[in-house]
Amino acid sequence: MKIDFKNRVAIVTGAGQGLGRSHALALAKRGAKLVINDLGGAADGTGGSLSPAQEVADLIISGGGEAIVSGANVAKFDQVTTMIEEAMNKWGRIDVLVNNAGILRDKSFSKMELSDFQTVIDVHLMGSVNCTKAVWEIMKSQNYGRIVMTTSSSGMYGNFGQTNYGAAKTGVVGFVNTLCIEGAKYDIRINALAPAAHTRMTEGLIPEEALKLLTPESVTAGLLALVHDQAPNRMILCAGAGGYARTIIYETDGIYLPPEQQTPENVMAALSDINDPSGQVEFTQGFEQSKKFIEKAMTGKAMKG
Q: What is the pLDDT of residue 35?
A: 98
- The catalytic residue positions are 165
Identify which has the larger pLDDT, 184 or 159: 184
Q: What mean pLDDT, rounded, does the chain reach?
A: 94
Structure confidence at residue 305 (pLDDT): 55
SS (H, E, C) the chain: CCCCCCCCEEEEECCCCHHHHHHHHHHHHCCCEEEEECCCCCCCCCCCCCHHHHHHHHHHHHCCCCEEEECCCCCCHHHHHHHHHHHHHHHCCCCEEEECCCCCCCCCCCCCCHHHHHHHHHHHHHHHHHHHHHHHHHHHHHCCEEEEEECCHHHHCCCCCCHHHHHHHHHHHHHHHHHHHHHHHHCEEEEEEEECCCCHHHCCCCCHHHCCCCCHHHHHHHHHHHHCCCCCCCCEEEEECCEEEEECCEECCCCCCCHHHCCHHHHHHCHHHHHCCCCCEECCCCHHHHHHHHHHHHHHHHHHC
Instruction: Please say if the pLDDT value at position 19 is more than 70.
Output: yes
The pLDDT value given to residue 152: 95
Q: What does the pLDDT look like over 246-305, one tens digit per residue?
A: 999 999 999 999 999 999 999 999 999 999 999 999 999 999 999 999 999 999 867 665
Mean of the pLDDT values across residues 42-64? 88
Q: What is the pLDDT of residues 195-217, one digit of tens each?
A: 986 655 566 676 777 778 888 99
Q: pTM of the full predicted structure?
A: 0.93
